[in-house]
Structure 1
């Protein structure tokens, strides 16, 4: 059975949190010897956290864990309990400045989804994805 671990970083609703989360994911994966996943995981975390802080007004959180099945799970919690906008295929948004986030997640992750969840006493949701460790 693979080693499991779980980290949560609570963040303010501030776009600077995206950079903090990218670097946090890089550090976590590097310290656990998963350097091969770092670039993709950073991108995925940045997209999920950017959506959380751009489209909601409350606090947010980044969660990174290694599941018992061996996948790396990355989730961003926010205070909006509504499902995220459906992702658009990347070829439909290649010229747009915005609207590519979940399309990138869908293209780069092995799985993705969302689920209702409460934190800080607020209703909200986790938008998540996972990466298989090869």
Structure 2
């Protein structure tokens, strides 16, 4: 019986990130945000941009961290992504200074599409057909 329980804990099915992954991801997000805010990277193109770090997700072994970023106003996202990728090793060094991990995680960058998804959901919920379905019934039933 203990063997089955041990296996279930070792290989959780359908589980999300662990508490450690979430904690390390948030630490990396804060540190990366601070580095970008202060302009600690020696790249004038990157320092000119105001970039929001919305979320950082880490791999289970904490060796890879994916930072979801978006420039202020959402304009110039590809240029911001290119600048971040160009400076990834310096950003990795700056972030690792504050972390007490065995390995400095490799940082990957992706565009944060959360706001786009929220807008799409809002548009969908404002659609007349969806609103009618949510309120219950059809036009024929109300007449």
Q: TM-score, normalised by structure 2?
A: 0.34
Richer in strand (by share): 1
Q: TM-score, normalised by structure 1?
A: 0.35
Which one has the largest radius of gyration?
Answer: 2
Richer in helix (by share): 2
